[in-house]
Amino acid sequence: MKILVVLVLLGLHSAAAVTHSLKYIYTASSQVPNFPEYVTVGMVDDVQIDHYDSNATRVLPKQDWMNRVTEDDPQYWENETQIVTGQQQLFKDNIEILKQRFLQTGGAHILQLMYGCEWDNETGEVYGYTQYGYDGEDFLAFDLKTETWIAPKPQAVITKRKWENDKALIAQTKNYLTQTCVDWLKKYVNYGRSSLMRTELPSVSLLQKTPSSPVSCFATGFYPNRVMMFWRKDGEELHEDVELGEILPNHDGSFQMSVDLNLSSVTPEDWRRYECVFQLSGVKDDIITKLDETAIQTNWSKTGDGGFPLGAVIGVVVVLLLLVVCIVGFFLWKNKKKGKEGFQPANTSDASSSSSSSSSSSSSSSTEVPVPDGNQPRSEEEVELQ
Ligand SMILES: *[C@@H]1O[C@H](CO)[C@@H](O)[C@H](O)[C@H]1NC(C)=O
Ligand SMILES: *[C@@H]1O[C@H](CO)[C@@H](O)[C@H](O)[C@H]1NC(C)=O
Ligand SMILES: *[C@@H]1O[C@H](CO)[C@@H](O)[C@H](O)[C@H]1NC(C)=O
Ligand SMILES: *[C@@H]1O[C@H](CO)[C@@H](O)[C@H](O)[C@H]1NC(C)=O
Ligand SMILES: *[C@@H]1O[C@H](CO)[C@@H](O)[C@H](O)[C@H]1NC(C)=O
């Protein structure tokens, strides 16, 4: 994702170039307290568009503009609900299959599927992906270029072989990721254009936990999430003693981010040479915050007249974040490698290349790959990991 952000920003001056994305995340869990067993969320440009969980009865829109889909198709939400609920049991079964494969007997386990597409509206370039994660780690990912599944874990190799022998599945996956997904993405972007294309500037503040902590430059309330944030000294961007945080969603649809600066080796006289810079894609003027001791919000008393209750602020932020994370069902597996490099394949050099044509005959229970329908908003693949 970082690569994308940078590219988008480099293209800042040709303001019309925009990369849009559609992404679905499915989270199935077993024995995770206070969390529904099955949750799906859809996102356009990292904005949540819909939600389903096993405690709800249907897929529901999360943006007002998503209600416009029924103008074209009154059945839209029913169809979505049908697809999603139709796969619920399969996800549960898949967790059981994986527990066996990893020789696990009980405890909390989580299986996630993430798929989607990114579309550059200027070049028309499309990047599609679909990948599974189990208990926070990469399990399987489809490589569109080679039309193979990448299995970073030995426990995934059986599935990789089975799915690669299933030509219908590969064709369906490819068709969805390169065509159907993009068609729907364009439709959604069209409905949500005025909201998705807006820009909102953040409020930026300087925070510090303890007198020896790094100073955190904290921006919240911005939209979209195509931003750059950094510290500057004498006008030069700093790379050392700086820690860049992740862009995180706020519950109101805006985003937040922070960049920390470790000042332990900086003398007080030198502080004024530092400033924090926030740049939002599509907005010319940067927000510049000078490092000024009096502007830093803390929870300890700097001058004796009572400080700012930072602990409370941070606490609230953390709670809100947790809520957002739960609601959005953010991928619990944080893949270290971002972008398109993909996974490190396990040693599968003995993978059958020619292989039997009757792929499904080896599995006792049927592999249900429905005939590609080709125009549903979501992937309808019902794939068993077995
Ligand atoms: C890409 O999106 C921008 C912003 O909505 C728009 O101005 C431009 O016309 C679009 N370009 C194409 C080729 O659709
Ligand atoms: C979902 O419903 C079940 C049973 O109805 C309940 O036990 C559980 O607490 C609910 N979970 C959430 C997250 O609401
Ligand atoms: C800040 O830098 C100093 C050395 O320059 C180091 O000892 C300290 O651990 C750093 N603090 C943080 C929070 O990284
Ligand atoms: C301020 O908050 C931080 C983090 O919550 C805590 O570690 C620190 O002890 C607090 N300082 C005071 C003076 O309360
Ligand atoms: C939803 O289902 C109805 C009836 O099965 C079908 O006519 C319609 O095309 C479907 N909508 C989409 C978006 O596929």
- Over residues 307-317, the pLDDT tens digits come to 444 554 554 44
In this structure, the residue with its CA closest to atom 13 of ligand 2 is: 35
| Cα angle 311, 312, 317; round to 5 | 100
In this structure, the residue with its CA closest to atom 13 of ligand 4 is: 300
pLDDT(375) > 90: no
CATH superfamily of 203-325: Immunoglobulins (2.60.40.10)
Q: Which residue has the higher pLDDT, 309 or 113?
A: 113
Mutate which of 14, 44, 120, 122 for ligand 1 pocket (most atoms within 8 A of beta carbon):
122
pLDDT(365) > 90: no
Cα–Cα dist 175/187, whole Å:
17
Average pLDDT over residues 85-92: 94
pLDDT value at residue 358: 32
Q: Percent of the chain, pLDDT > 70?
A: 77
Strands across the sheet containing 126-134: 60-61, 47-53, 38-44, 19-30, 109-120, 126-134, 137-143, 148-150
pLDDT value at residue 17: 58
pLDDT value at residue 347: 29
The CATH architecture to which 17-195+326-359 belongs is 2-Layer Sandwich (3.30)
Average pLDDT over residues 320-337: 44
Residue 273's closest CA among 260, 298, 292, 259? Answer: 292
Ligand at minimal distance from the CA of 15 is: 1
Kindly report, residue by residue over 115-137, the tens digit of the pLDDT. Answer: 999 999 999 999 999 999 999 99
| Cα angle 83, 363, 26; round to 5 | 30
Residue located via tokens 């569109």: 144
Residue 21's closest CA among 149, 126, 138, 139? Answer: 126
Q: How far is the CA of 320 from the centre of ligand 2 (A)?
A: 20
Q: How confident is the model at residue 193 (pLDDT cuts 50, 70, 90)?
A: very high
Domain boundaries, the chain: 17-195+326-359, 203-325
Average pLDDT over residues 194-208: 95
| 3-state SS class at 290 | strand
Which segment, 11-25, 185-199, 310-324, 358-372, is predicted with the most confidence on average?
A: 185-199
pLDDT value at residue 302: 61
| Cα angle 239, 311, 294; round to 5 | 60
pLDDT value at residue 351: 29
| 3-state SS class at 18 | coil
pLDDT value at residue 376: 80
In this structure, the residue with its CA closest to atom 3 of ligand 5 is: 75
Q: How confident is the model at residue 3 (pLDDT cuts 50, 70, 90)?
A: very low
Q: How confident is the model at residue 341 (pLDDT cuts 50, 70, 90)?
A: very low
- The pTM of this model reads 0.75
Q: Where are the beta strands (DSSP E) in 238-286?
A: 242-244, 248-249, 255-261, 274-280
Residue 113's closest CA among 96, 129, 97? Answer: 129
Q: Which tokens in the block code for residue 230?
A: 């950094």
